[in-house]
Copies of this chain bind each other. A is one copy, B any other.
């Protein structure tokens, strides 16, 4: 979606500022690696503190990171006076999340005035090889922010 025109030229600043306010991203150790109109990528390293019972990354952690990527992808296209919220999402887990690093990619599929549909992938990086381990289909909503 490289041809998409963001409604707010300062979209990247808005995304980065919001991302830094998410306590869970620091807990996970996730950082933003790409912020362009309609697409956002986040990344985090493996940690045992994020694992399920077999030592793989917990499905919910993958979900957290790819949800943020999808939400911020939607946010890049929203006017400045709006906030983004996840209405709902569905995730399929296709392979155990084994790897050194994990990258969540969120892309806008359809941007509307109120509702934005996003698709996301969670990619595990192990020994330099990439593998899609989970895929998300999400519905985001633009909510007008209240004046402070």
Number of copies of this kind of chain in the complex: 4
Cβ contacts A to B, 26 pairs, < 8 Å: A19-B53, A23-B49, A23-B51, A23-B58, A24-B51, A24-B61, A26-B49, A58-B67, A58-B68, A59-B64, A60-B63, A60-B67, A63-B63, A85-B93, A87-B93, A87-B115, A88-B88, A88-B91, A88-B92, A88-B117, A88-B139, A90-B91, A94-B117, A95-B110, A109-B135, A110-B132
Q: A109: which B residues are within 8 A, CB to CB?
A: 92, 94, 132, 135
Q: A125: shortest Cβ distance to chain B, in Å?
A: 18
* Residue in contact with A87 in the complex, picked from B27, B54, B86, B92, CB distance below 8 Å: B92
